[in-house]
Amino acid sequence: MKNSVLVTGGAGYIGSHVVQQLVTRGERVVVIDNLSTGFRDAVCGAELVVGNVGDRALVARLLREHHVEAVMHFAAHTVVPESVSDPLKYYGNNTCNTHRLLACCAAAGVGRFIFSSAAAVYGVTDNGIADEGTPTQPINPYGASKLMSETILRDFCATGAMRHITLRYFNVAGCDPLGRIGQSTPHATLLIRVACEHAVGKRASLSIFGTDYDTPDGTGIRDYIHVDDLASAHLRALDHLRDGGESLTLNCGYGHGYSVREVIDAVQRVGGQPSSVVELPRRAGDTPILIARSDRLKQNLDWQPQYDDLDFIVRTALLWEKQLARKSAPLASASRA
């Protein structure tokens, strides 16, 4: 049997885009996802096993039966405000389950591991820019849970039992350019998704959390990366490890940012609809500016972005949101009948 790649959380937003690219290039892929925020129909061309990544017996069986040679680990809770209000949920699911997964990998002799981390590990930087050497000082439990997982993974790999790539995501946005899969998670908090929901009428208004930051227009600035560019970085990471490359920690971003107001303007421009904006106080756990230095990603993995354009990112997100609205329209009509 051909060796396979196990993708945890592969029915979720980012994981499903990675699975799609893996399958397209002929990889054998098995997905484990508890479908708490993922969707069965987002997994295309791969076997989906519904279950929890913290279930050691299940994970051990999958690693053995599918001859898994590499793991890509996406399964995690990711909502920053929720992590502030319920930190134990984040440490339990994000950190403790990563430990359990690694223990299973160690027992099965899996030698390659790609970890989905986040720019939240940096916290507030001196100038709003982070490279991989920037001190890690997370300001919310989500970022702390990711940093703890990074540490566990680093220390285990230092024994020589495994090599890994840790990818620190900045703000992931957009959807498959062909509209096959996208971001469907309800109660989304990511700005571009929320703004597109507003553009198609799912939200009555659009909130800006914080207008008094020390930025040109007073709103927070983030580095947005298209989900397909991020997915391609995972495939390049897998190739690097297969070629015998060393363990690495790499930022995933474009190296420049947009403010909240600039993003809202882009959604208005692409969607052709004015936005109803409500200005609110800052949210706990948010940083004023966070932009990636991602030179190491390009140099070490020979990665080049294809979709570094805010309007294109918004266009793909809006295309998917319109598809979701069309699917839900008949259900809404039936419920009113």
What confidence tens digit (pLDDT) does each residue in 27-57 have?
Answer: 999 999 999 999 999 999 999 999 999 999 9
Domain ranges within the chain, ordered by starting residue: 4-174+225-252, 191-222+256-293+308-329
191-222+256-293+308-329, CATH topology level: UDP-galactose 4-epimerase; domain 1 (3.90.25)
- Specify whether the backbone of 12 is left (phi greater than 0), alpha (psi in -120 to 50) or beta: beta
Enumerate the H helices of the chain as residue ranges: 13-24, 56-65, 80-85, 87-90, 97-108, 141-157, 191-199, 227-242, 260-271, 295-301, 310-336
Q: Which of 13, 90, 142, 224 is catalytic?
A: 142
State yes or no: pLDDT of 293 exceeds 50. Answer: yes
Q: Which residues of 71-104 are buried (b: 16+ CB within 10 A; e: fewer)?
A: bbbbbbbbbbebbbeeeeebbebbbbbbebbbeb
Over range 122-131, report the average pLDDT: 92
Class of domain 4-174+225-252: alpha beta
pLDDT value, residue 189: 81
Active-site residue flag, 142: yes
Cα 112 → chain centroid = 20
286: confidence class by pLDDT, cuts 50, 70, 90: confident
What backbone torsions phi and psi does residue 36 show, to the nearest 5 degrees? -70, -35
Average pLDDT over the chain reads: 94
Given this model, what pLDDT does residue 331 score?
Answer: 45
Nearest to 237 by CA among 93, 92, 29, 22: 22
When pLDDT is averaged across residues 138-151 and rounded to a whole number, the result is 97
- What average pLDDT score do residues 121-127 get? 91
Q: What is the mean pLDDT of residues 138-147?
A: 96
Provide the pLDDT for residue 323: 93
Q: What are phi and psi of 15, to 5 degrees?
A: -55, -40
- φ/ψ region of 179 (left if φ > 0, alpha if ψ in -120 to 50, else beta) reads left
By the 8 A CB rule, do 226 and 307 touch?
Answer: yes
* pLDDT score recorded for residue 307: 98
> Is pLDDT at 251 greater than 70 in this prediction?
yes
